[in-house]
Amino acid sequence: MASSAGYIIASSCEDIIEDQHWLTSAYIMFAVPYFVYDIYAMFMCYWYKLRVKGHEEASAAPQHMSSALTSYLRREFLMVLHHVVMVTVCFPVSVFWRQGKGDYFQGIMFMAELSTPSVCLGKILIQYKQQHTLLHKVNGALMLITFFICRVLLFPYLYYVYGRYASIPFHMVPFSVPWHCNLGAALLMAPQLYWFSLICRGALRLFTGSSRSQRPRPNTAAPKERQTDSGALPQPANGYSTRSTDHCHSNKM
């Protein structure tokens, strides 16, 4: 939905600074409640996963809501921070501070969500232990490509487009725009680079034949393995994990 809205907005703006589209502010107003709800929904998924009877991770689960909340915030800090910044910073900047300028850039940023379907599919395939399938490998390659194009190259592209509009050489654009634009772009790009590094690590394991990418083999040691892994906590709700066994990007934002 965000990508569709972004395409409509960007394609309708001939002047990338002055042209406006009503969908820009309308979609931002629609998205803000989503970010608030998503924080709540991710926490509830985390909480109820810990409460599932017979779950192998139950012995390590926090026993109180406050403890679970603290544990959740530690595991999902980057994603929660992303959502909070979207609501408290990006929302007022996009709706009020811009004063109707730059709808084209806003539309392009909406189109970054083109990478999300492959990320979500990768998470689902891991949940259903389908890492050995061709679909998992194809999706992993697609995720690597779409995330790089839609989220990593996004900001250089925005600078390039503005440079053409203002007849400024690309390398001079950062020195020609207000400092807060550079700061905002840097803060938004930093987590994208971090997540992309996790995707690359997962893709390396996937395409070099790591143990997780092989078809699972039944063995009698499964109960013992479950016991030794009982101290582990659930995967982060967003699928991004620095643990080698938790990357949804070994198929993930």
In terms of pTM, does the model score above 0.95?
no
| Domain-wise residue ranges, the chain | 1-56+63-113, 116-211
Kindly report the average pLDDT of the chain as a whole number: 80
Confidence of residue 215 (pLDDT cuts 50, 70, 90): low
Is residue 162 pLDDT above 80, yes or no? yes
pLDDT at residue 124 greater than cutoff 70: yes
More confident: 111 or 228: 111
Neighbours of 174 (CB within 10 A): 15
Distance (Å, rounded) from C-alpha 96 to C-alpha 37? Answer: 23
pLDDT tier at 227, thresholds 50, 70, 90: very low
Query: What integer is the mean pLDDT of 17-25?
Result: 92
Alpha-carbon span 112 to 141, nearest angstrom: 17
* Location of structure tokens 């034949």: 209
- Each residue of 152-161: pLDDT tens digit? 999 999 999 9
Output phi, psi for 178, to 5 deg: -60, 150
> Do 57 and 230 meet the contact criterion of CB atoms below 8 Å apart?
yes
User: pLDDT grade, residue 202 (50/70/90)?
Assistant: confident
Q: What is the mean pLDDT of residues 158-172?
A: 95
